[in-house]
Amino acid sequence: SLGPVLRPLSLAGHVGFDSLPDQLVNKSICQGFCFNILCIGETGIGKSTLMDTLFNTNFENFESSHFEPQVKLRAQTYDLHESNVRLRLTVVNTVGFGDQMNKQESYQPVVDYIDRQFESFLQEELKIKRSLHNYHDSRVHACLYFISPSGHSLKSLDLVTMKKLDSKVNIIPVIAKADTISKSELHKFKIKIMSELVSNGVQIYQFPLDDETVAKVNTAMNGHLPFAVVGSTEEVSVGNKMVKARQYPWGVVQVENESHCDFVKLREMLICINMEDLREQTHTHHYELYRRCKLEEMGFQDTDPECKPVSLQQTYEAKRQEFLVELQKREDEMRQMFVQRVKLKESELKEDERELQSRFEQLKRLHADEKSALEEKKRLLDEDQSSFGKRRAAAQLLQAQSLTANGKKDKDRKK
């Protein structure tokens, strides 16, 4: 790149910035370290025993049943001290892994757990008031995948799970309970496992070769993968020493004897040599990938289609503009819908009005007919009445005449 031109200068005397590495060391010691291990393996495969053996502790162990309806993850955090170094260790165990009828779903809770830890780190990073210096980083730095010592091959669950996880976490496969498999079988089994991983495109963690002080040992150790491990917290006396071992009727398996198993190799690689690299890879590779996908999903980008850099401000403005346009579109749609609805309602009302009007006309006609019928009746009634009146008057007259006529007759008779 086109940086400033550098001019080498030699110092005339001691300045003191050669203490920078020491300052870094002192600062790190002061802050303390954190390391998070995820143990994936079927129930009873020896996860807890191996963790206890690795860290020389007695972590809380809950034996899980084989009847869990689904896989769960259980995380426990411990504060460990060695000399003046403080390590905050989180051990995450899968509970019920591979015990369900439908084993294809076993990996999903694991994937979700890893993503959740990335997400909470991202959320902390995106805050305005960040407190990353005292943030409890729960991102998984190393994933020990426990392969069952069948001596045969990997199970499809193993391949599917590792494939789902290999872009999210540093996978270190181990052959569990390696004391149950014979030496010649173990050798073939290791080769088989590695070739299956390669042919399925599963990317496991490779011990780094860029630091030349450990490049040699790391190269050699990459050739011993996957480590065949034995765990035990039981102490057995061998010679005049007490050593961690598993005792059998036919002999003793010494956990920390390299001709018995790869436990020491695992401890060296995981804790003594590459713990910092595992932490770094988690941050610079796996988290970086998660962050990138997440931000791209949210619409952020570094460059526009013409490869010009885009600032956060521009992205924000563009998003805002996009949002406003969308809002305007929605508003127009709403308005159109409203107008349409009003029109529909209006025509409905007009129709109702027409109907009412016609009903009204009909009623009016009916009423008029009734009225004229009634008037006709009244007229007839009036006619009847007047003819009745006339007839009555005639009758009365007749009666009166007949009365006078009778009176005369009586008088005549008396005379």
Ligand X SMILES: Nc1nc2c(ncn2[C@@H]2O[C@H](COP(=O)(O)OP(=O)(O)OP(=O)(O)O)[C@@H](O)[C@H]2O)c(=O)[nH]1
* Interface ranges with Mg ion (CB under 5 A): 47-48
31 sits near ligand NAG (criterion: CB under 6 A):
no
Whether the CB-CB separation of 63 and 115 falls below 8 Å is answered with: no
How is residue 254 written in tokens?
A: 């010494």
The residue number with the shortest CB distance to ligand X is 46
Report how far residue 221's alpha carbon sits from residue 227's, in angstroms, rounded to the nearest whole number. 9
Q: Which does 177 bind (CB under 5 to 8 A by kind): ligand X, Mg ion, ligand NAG, none?
A: ligand X
Stretch that binds ligand NAG, among 32-40, 194-202, 254-262, 281-289 (CB under 6 A): 254-262
Distance of closest approach, residue 50 Cβ to Mg ion, in angstroms: 9
Do residues 42 and 66 make contact, with C-beta atoms less than 8 angstroms apart?
A: no
Residue 311: strand, helix, or coil: coil
Of the two residues 54 and 214, which places its CB atom closer to Mg ion in the complex?
54
The answer to whether 281 and 170 have CB atoms below 8 angstroms apart is yes
The answer to whether residue 79 forms part of the interface with ligand NAG (CB under 6 A) is no
Shortest distance in whole angstroms from residue 64 CB to Mg ion: 7
The only residue of 134, 259, 311, 404 in contact with ligand NAG, by rule CB under 6 A: 259
Contacting residue, 23, 24, 25, 44, with ligand X by CB under 6 A: 44
For the stretch 294-332, what's the b/e string if a residue is b when 16 or more beta carbons lie within 10 angstroms of its beta carbon? eeeeeeeeeeeeeeeeeeeeebeeeeeeeeeeeeeeeee
Footprint of ligand X on 125-184 (CB under 6 A): 177, 179-180
Is residue 322 within 8 Å of 298, Cβ to Cβ? no
Instruction: Report how far residue 182's alpha carbon sits from residue 228's, in angstroms, rounded to the nearest whole number.
Output: 11
Q: Is 257 in the site for ligand NAG (CB under 6 A)?
A: yes
**Cα torsion at 173, 174, 180, 186 (round to 10°)?**
70
Q: Please tell me whether residue 241 adopts helix, strand or coil conformation.
A: strand
Between 22 and 79, CB nearer to ligand NAG: 22
What is the per-residue binding string for ligand X in 2-41, x denoting contact by CB under 6 A? ---------------------------------------x
**Contact (Cβ atoms closer than 8 angstroms) between residue 132 and residue 125:** yes
Local structure of residue 60 (DSSP, 8 states): -
Q: Looking at residues 201 to 230 of the shown chain, list those that interact with ligand X (rule: CB under 6 A).
A: 230
Long-range contacts of 243-247 (CB under 8 A, 24+ apart): 244/53, 246/179
Pick 106 or 254: Cβ nearer ligand NAG: 254
- State which of residues 98, 173, 226, 231 lies at the interface with ligand X (CB under 6 A): 231
Q: H helices of 204-311, where?
A: 212-222, 263-267, 275-281, 288-297
Q: Is 23 or 31 the residue whose CB approaches ligand NAG more closely? A: 23
Minimum distance from residue 259 beta carbon to Mg ion (Å): 28
Residue 26 binds which of ligand NAG, ligand X, Mg ion, none (CB < 5-8 A, kind-dependent): ligand NAG
Residue 247 binds ligand NAG, judged by CB under 6 A: no
User: What gap in Å lies between CA 387 and CA 308, rounded to an integer?
Assistant: 115
Contact residue for ligand NAG among 18, 22, 306, 410 (CB under 6 A): 22
Q: Looking at the DSSP assignment, which residues form a beta bridge with residue 82?
A: 85
CB of 151 to ligand NAG, least distance (A): 21
Interface with ligand NAG: number of residues (CB under 6 A): 9
Q: Which residues of this protein are in contact with ligand NAG, per CB under 6 A?
A: 19, 22-23, 26, 238, 254, 257, 259-260
Q: Which residues of this protein are in contact with ligand X, per CB under 6 A?
A: 41, 43-49, 61, 63-64, 93, 177, 179-180, 230-231, 246
